[in-house]
Amino acid sequence: MNAPYHHGNLRQALLDRAIETLSEKGVEHLSLRALARDLGVSHAAPLRHFATKADLLNAIAIEGVGSLVAATDQAAEAASGVKRLRAMALAYVDWAMANAALHQILRNPDVMRHASDDLTKMLTTFAEAQRREIATAQSQGWRPDEHPDVLFLHLVSLTAGTAVVMTGDVYRDPVMTSLAKDRVAASLDLFFG
């Protein structure tokens, strides 16, 4: 009748509930103790799974990057060359819009400051994949004369920036954001076109 002594899958439950809370209240109001209360577990139980709050956020970020990489990988399958690069960029922005809370975690300096080796490695791998795609696209005739570093910086800035703008961090005016929604592809194509 009573709740069982062991939760069963507290770790994942914490991650899921934390992501919910984050999208509602932001990282500043995420509290381990509130999570524990929400899940009907004692205030110190989360510490068995995440030694510190930073660890929890790091784990969330790892889940986020995994989801992001999966989304861009899937988008990449359909095409090749520049179109592949374009598809990945669009998928990135789409993913960010669909997972705004997760995206904000990945862009939060206070979270990434404590990034684990695993997390930084995932991000590095992601960046390397993008560099490879650029090289391939260039070898197939897309902007062959530009320096790869310039294209990479531009690609990363543009995609990250568009995601940031579209998830409402910059101009929180919803009218502007919804207006811009229809322009995302066109904006990206100023680069890919």
Partner DNA sequence: GTTACGATGTAGTCAGTGACAACATGAGTC
Partner DNA sequence: GACTCATGTTGTCACTGACTACATCGTAAC
Does 69 participate in binding a second copy (rule CB under 8 A)? no
Does 5 participate in binding DNA (rule CB under 7 A)? yes
Q: Which of 16, 23, 45, 136 binds DNA (CB under 7 A)?
A: 45
Q: Which of 25, 26, 51, 98 binds DNA (CB under 7 A)?
A: 51
Q: Alpha-carbon Rg of the chain, whole angstroms? A: 19
Does 123 participate in binding DNA (rule CB under 7 A)? no
Q: Which of 101, 111, 93 is nearest to 165 (CA)?
A: 93
* CB hemisphere CA count around 161 (13 angstroms): 8
Does 153 participate in binding a second copy (rule CB under 8 A)? yes
State the angle between helix axes of 148-166 and 117-139 in degrees (0 to 180), rounded to the nearest 10: 120
Convert 161-184 to b/e letters by CB count within 10 Å (16 or more is b). Answer: ebbbbbbeeeeeeeeebeeeeeeb
In contact, 137 and 81? CB cutoff 8 Å: yes
One-letter identity of residue 20: E
Does 118 participate in binding a second copy (rule CB under 8 A)? no
**What is the per-residue binding string for DNA in 54-93, x denoting contact by CB under 7 A?**
x---------------------------------------
**What is the per-residue binding string for a second copy in 86-115, x denoting contact by CB under 8 A?**
------------------x--xxxx-xx-x
Does 176 participate in binding a second copy (rule CB under 8 A)? yes
Q: How far is the CB of 66 from DNA (least distance, A)?
A: 20
Does 184 participate in binding a second copy (rule CB under 8 A)? yes
CA distance 137 to 134: 5
Chain positions contacting DNA, by CB under 7 A: 4-8, 10-11, 30-34, 36, 41-45, 47-49, 51-54
